[in-house]
Amino acid sequence: MKRVRGLQNVCIPINQANLIFDSRIIWRDLTIWIRSYINAKHGGLGDQEAIRKKLDELIIRSTNIFSLVFGEELGNEYVNFLTDFINYLDVLIDAQNRGDTDTVKEYTERLQVLPMMTATFLAQINPYWTEDEWIELLSLYNQMSIDQSTALLNKEDKEEIYIFDRLLNLSSRIGDYYSQGILDYLMYSSRTMVK
């Protein structure tokens, strides 16, 4: 309640409000397009190349938002984490399709380590994000993405739908946490967006 009272006299410029909204929904968009990509790679409908291009556009959009708040240098580091996630998942799916269990294991491990590195980075640049919260959210997201790929590979449609629904809910949680952290950073740190 104290926080709400503190914000009652605060006016958020429209460009910052739009940025906060975009930073929230980008996680849901990513989840939807990752599902399409995984499905296409497992022989489902869709043009893998076109979907990958859409994922790359989302990464650029997310990085642009990040750079507006934290600067281009940190944005360049942030893009590496997003790109690594997509690339590791891509290699894992290819390995699943080939039945290459050693590569599946290796890239599963990489996807399990990536949240810790990402969380450390995010918590260091924004005092309104915690490393533990990011580890929990991103670890869940990565594991569910792996599980979704496995369900699609095994043609477990009901399981895949269940996982996708959970991923959508999780992406909303991540988007809320991410955007709230950006809002707090801009409001309470006397920061302005980078021009």
User: What pLDDT score was predicted for residue 9?
Assistant: 52
Lowest mean pLDDT among 11-20, 129-138, 163-172: 11-20
- DSSP letter, residue 10: -
User: What pLDDT score was predicted for residue 188?
Assistant: 83
- DSSP letter, residue 169: H
Give CA–CA dist 143/151, Å, rounded. Answer: 12
DSSP three-state, residue 131? helix
DSSP three-state, residue 41? helix
Closest listed residue to residue 173, CA positions, set 148, 142, 137 = 137
What sections of 42-156 are H helices per DSSP?
48-70, 72-98, 101-125, 131-153
Residue 18 has pLDDT above 50, yes or no: yes
Tell me the average pLDDT across 11-29. Answer: 79
Residue 167 has pLDDT above 90, yes or no: yes
User: What pLDDT score was predicted for residue 191?
Assistant: 60
Structure tokens at 32: 């939807």
Average pLDDT, the chain: 90
Q: What is the number of other CB atoms lying within 10 angstroms of the CB of residue 59?
A: 19
Give CA–CA dist 195/67, Å, rounded. Answer: 9
Tell me the average pLDDT across 81-105. Answer: 97
